[in-house]
Structure 1
């Protein structure tokens, strides 16, 4: 057999297996799709029709889910924002469960607010699954500090935090006219840009439109 053709077949198999190790749903689908397409082509060339049919079916299923994931990634009907109290039992459970992962986003973040600290807390839900948490501290004068903007590993290729920032009146309704991200945050700059933050004098900030009267 042609060694290049054999390498082509092995590459498809490796990508399919590698995809199964991915926690991120979008990355899993893309790797699985590419691997299945390569395996489909390889099996068609060498005439292994049962595996051709199987991999073709996998590629078509992946293509459908990729289309659906991309179509709904900015859809208000797919993701919902639920405001909760900063000491809500379920919120604290989520923060404790993912404490190590959260520390990678916001070093020094404390799940329990300090005495006298005022916070707004929001869960981002996809159905009954919590895919993100946003917590904003009230610094007074209309300024809110984004203490946490965390996304679960499965949805890290998406931007569910955007629904908190763009939700009609949800941030302005808490009295915030400006949001800032503390310098200790490790939130990706590309994500901050996508959700409307701008870098000014070394500080990421975002204006919040006033509520319509």
Structure 2
């Protein structure tokens, strides 16, 4: 089976190439968890490749890397993290700095975002570090989401999950009953957060009722 060729390259060589690509991709990940998962997959293939070609040092070393990744992933998923939301005050200097620093990345998800006066804002803290920024415009009992941004290293859905579970209480002083957005770029994320497709002024929106 391993002698079988694909495009003139043996299956064994393809395993080596695939392992190299996975390890390389893992190094581009800003999320530590994603880095660990990709690196784990690459190390599994490299370990397999090493044993198949009879190179014990390669096989054993990558097997140990597999064990290290599994240990760290188990530790990450089992770690109890502390989340907290803080309402953003007008002209908050930290917000101004973060919006400027992540301006280009924010533009990839919210190309039309613009910070305006009288918007409601929330910082999501994760282990006392700012992990997410939420900004919206109140329209009576609804809130139009202008920005729901997780910093690159925190994109594992935990920030959004905590945000939307605590949003009703966080916005209790403003009598917000539902939140919605026009953006469909993050449809998978919105659906995971409990949003459903709806219509507003004959335009498609994603909406979530705050129960």
Q: Which residue of 1 aligns with 2:209?
A: 207
Separation in structure 2 between the aligned mates of residue 186 and residue 203 of structure 1, nearest angstrom: 8
Aligned-pair CA distance for 1:164: 1.8
Out of 82-91 and 166-175, give the one that drifted further: 166-175
Separation in structure 2 between the aligned mates of residue 194 and residue 69 of structure 1, nearest angstrom: 21
Listed as ranges, the gaps of 5+ residues in structure 2 are: 4-9
Counterpart contact for 2:83–2:128, Cα < 8 Å: no
Q: Which residue of 2 aligns with 1:144?
A: 143
Separation in structure 2 between the aligned mates of residue 205 and residue 9 of structure 1, nearest angstrom: 46
Counterpart contact for 2:82–2:128, Cα < 8 Å: no
Counterpart contact for 1:40–1:53, Cα < 8 Å: yes
Q: Which residue of 2 aligns with 1:42?
A: 49
Aligned-pair CA distance for 1:155: 2.7
Q: Which residue of 2 aligns with 1:51?
A: 58
Q: Which residue of 2 aligns with 1:29?
A: 36
Correspondence 1:31-110 to 2 at 5 A: 31-70=38-77, 77-110=81-114
- Report the 3-state secondary structure (helix = DSSP H, G, I; strand = E; otherwise coil) of the residue aligned with 2:147: strand
What is the alpha-carbon root mean square deviation over aligned residues?
2.4
- Report the 3-state secondary structure (helix = DSSP H, G, I; strand = E; otherwise coil) of the residue aligned with 1:133: strand
Counterpart contact for 1:165–1:171, Cα < 8 Å: no
Q: TM-score if structure 1 supplies the norm length?
A: 0.80
Aligned-pair CA distance for 1:148: 0.6
Question: Does the alignment pair 1:165 with 2:164?
Answer: yes
Cα deviation, 1:83-134, whole Å, max 9, x if unaligned, reads 22142111111111111111222232223x23xx2x2211122224322111
Cα deviation, 1:123-160, whole Å, max 9, x if unaligned, reads 122224322111122222x2111111012222334351
Counterpart contact for 2:29–2:35, Cα < 8 Å: yes
**Could you say which structure has the greater relative contact order, defined with CA pairs below 8 angstroms and 6 or more residues apart?**
1
Separation in structure 1 between the aligned mates of residue 186 and residue 21 of structure 2, nearest angstrom: 30
Q: TM-score if structure 2 supplies the norm length?
A: 0.81
Separation in structure 1 between the aligned mates of residue 90 and residue 78 of structure 2, nearest angstrom: 32
